Amino acid sequence: MAASDQTLVCVKQVKQEVVDEWDESMPLPGDIIEGFSEYDADDDSFLLVKTSSELSTQLGKINSRVEFIWIKVKRGDSILKLQTRIAQQKGKGSILHRKYTIQAATDHRHVADLGDLTLKQCTELQGVFNCQGAGSWPLKSLETPPTHLTISGKVRPHDVEFLEEVAGENWNGDCIVYAFNAGLLSKLPSRGKLEVSLETLQCEIYTVSPIRKLIHNASERDRRKKINALYSSLRSLLPVADQMVLNTLSTPSLFGMDILVKFLNATTSRN
Could you report the per-residue pLDDT of 42-74, keeping only the tens digit for each? 778 899 999 999 999 999 899 888 889 999 999
Is the pLDDT at 222 greater than 80? The verdict is: no
Q: What is the DSSP letter of 18?
A: -
Q: 179 vs 149, 205, 240, CA distance in Å?
A: 21, 6, 54
More confident residue, 267 or 124: 124
Q: What is the DSSP string of 180-225?
A: TTTTEEEEE-TT--EEEEEETT----EEEEEEE-----HHHHHHHH
What 74-81 contacts at long range (C-beta under 8 Å, 24+ apart), as own/partner pairs, is 74/31, 74/32, 74/34, 75/28, 75/30, 75/31, 75/32, 75/126, 75/137, 76/126, 76/137, 76/138, 76/139, 78/137, 79/34, 80/24, 81/41
Is the pLDDT at 116 greater than 90? The verdict is: yes
Mean pLDDT of 170-199: 85
What's the predicted TM-score (pTM) here? 0.47
Q: Classify the C-alpha dihedral 122-125-130-134 as positive or negative.
A: negative
2-26 residue pLDDT tens: 556 789 999 988 887 777 778 888 8
Q: Under a CB-based contact definition with an 8 Å cutoff, are residues 261 and 234 in contact?
A: yes
Q: For the chain, what percent of residues have pLDDT higher than 90?
A: 16
